[in-house]
Amino acid sequence: MENLKPLTQWEQFRNESEDIKFVWVQFMTYIGTNLVRMIPIAHFTRLIETNQAISVPKAVLHLLPHDHVATGGSLTGSFYLRPDLTSFCHHLNPGRALVMATWVDTDNKPIGQCARSKLEALTDLIRRQMSCSVLVGFELEFVLLRRRKSPTGQLEYEPMNINHSWCSMTLEDEHLLGFLEEAAGALEDIGISVQQFHAELAPGQWEFILP
Closest CA to 24 of 37, 35, 7, 34: 37
At 105, the amino acid letter reads D
Average pLDDT of every residue of the chain: 89
Q: Which residues contact 152 (CB under 8 A, 6 or more apart)?
A: none
Give tens-digit pLDDT for 105-145.
999 899 988 988 898 899 999 999 999 988 877 889 999 99
Determine the pLDDT at residue 208: 95
Closest CA to 84 of 123, 43, 129, 114: 114
Type and span of the H or E element at 123: helix 115-130
Q: Is the pLDDT of residue 3 over 50?
A: no
Q: Is the pLDDT of residue 102 over 50?
A: yes
Give tens-digit pLDDT for 15-46.
777 788 999 999 988 888 889 999 999 999 99
CB under 8 A, 24+ apart: contacts of 183-192: 183/208, 184/208, 186/92, 189/90, 189/92, 190/89, 190/90, 190/91, 190/92, 191/89, 191/90, 192/89
Q: Span 43-51, mean pLDDT? A: 90
Give tens-digit pLDDT for 143-197.
999 999 888 889 999 999 899 999 999 999 999 999 999 999 998 988 888 999 9
Comparing 73 with 1, the larger pLDDT belongs to: 73
Percent of the chain beyond pLDDT 90?
Answer: 50
Q: Is the pLDDT of residue 88 over 90?
A: no
Percent of the chain beyond pLDDT 70?
Answer: 98
Determine the pLDDT at residue 4: 58
**Which residues pair with residue 82 across a beta bridge?**
102
Determine the pLDDT at residue 195: 93
Q: Let me know the angle formed at the C-alpha of 64 by 60 and 65, rounded to the nearest 5 degrees.
A: 115
Closest CA to 24 of 103, 96, 84: 96
